Structure 1
Amino acid sequence: MPKPTGPMNPLVIEIASGIRKKYPDVARHLTRPRRKKPGVNMNKISRSSQDNDVVIVPGACLGEGSMERKVTVYAMKFSSSARKKIEAKGGKCLPLSQLMKDGAKGRILI
């Protein structure tokens, strides 16, 4: 059985260590293998948020479904269709590394 090596991307390591105290669940999901990181669709974000909410996605934000709310989304990666849908409703798409600087409190979608 191969020995687990942990995350190799220096950006992921930096983000995970920076937000570990405030968001331990997000840090734990960031250090998972890439194949186990969650992808969150627009439907899930729209269902579980209100207008002007802050949403944290520790994986990829995908564009399946419709966006019905104005939200700020922090994610590791955005698909082009997800970015267009969020910004069309007046929301913001921000990288997860920006979460450390902003210190925003948000709803975690895993």
Structure 2
Amino acid sequence: MPPNPTGPTNRQLRMLARFLRKAAAANSARIWRVVAELIERPRRSRVVVNVGKLNRVAEDGDVVVVPGKLLGGGELRKKVTVAAVKVSPKAAQKVVEAGGELLTIPELVRRVPKGTRVKVVV
């Protein structure tokens, strides 16, 4: 490893990015490569999304991936399936109360390997 490593030093994030790149190659699904690139960003420019933004950009029944942290700011009135790297307890509560479902990103990749109809929210 170089003296000053670049990219995530968190082992789970590195493993997740590697998993996504392999899934992208195996399934010819460019979306997973894009999500891997967003996860590998430096910490200061990682994605942070509030559930209020999900309410604005997603429709009922959509499948959404957040390549960062999902926070509980705002309201969610739509039933969406959400996969994120991290989810705050308040955000998890709001997604479940709205009738939605929370998944990990690997669970979502296994469920939708081609990434069809999956929205990336940044």
TM-score for both structures, normalised by structure 2: 0.80
How far apart are the structure 1 equivalents of 2:13 and 2:109? Answer: 12
Q: Percent of counterpart pairs with the same letter?
A: 38
1:67 aligns to 2:76 (yes or no): yes
Residue 98 of structure 1: how far off its partner (Å) = 1.8
Counterpart CA distance in 2 for 1:101 and 1:8 is 25
Alignment of 1:5-84 (within 5 A): 5-20=6-21, 21=24, 22=29, 23-84=32-93
Structure 2: distance between partners of 1:48 and 1:100:
21
Q: Give SS of 2:99's match.
A: coil
Aligned-CA RMSD value: 1.7
Between the aligned partners of 2:61 and 2:88, the Cα distance in structure 1 is 21
**Cα distance in structure 1, aligned partners of 2:119 and 2:109:** 15
* SS across alignment from 2:17: helix
Structure 1 residue 4, shift from structure 2 partner: 4.3
Q: Distance in 1 between matches of 2:109 and 2:55?
A: 24
Whole-Å separation in 2 of the counterparts to 1:34 and 1:72: 25
SS of 2:49's equivalent? strand
Q: How many residues align?
A: 109
Q: Distance in 1 between matches of 2:52 and 2:99?
A: 17
Runs (4+) of structure 1 exceeding 3 A deviation are none
Q: Could you tell me which amino acid in structure 1 is paired with residue 52 of structure 2? A: N
Deviation at 1:99, TM superposition (A): 2.4
Q: Which moved more, 1:34-43 or 1:70-79?
A: 34-43
Indicate conservation of the 8 Å contact 1:18/1:100, yes or no: no
Alpha-carbon offset, residue 42 of structure 1: 1.1
- Provide TM-score, normalisation by structure 1: 0.88
> Letter of the aligned partner of 2:20 in structure 1?
I
Partner of 2:121: 109
Q: Which runs of 5+ in 2 are unaligned?
A: none
Consecutive unaligned residues in structure 1, runs of 5 or more: none
Give the CA deviation at 1:87: 0.1
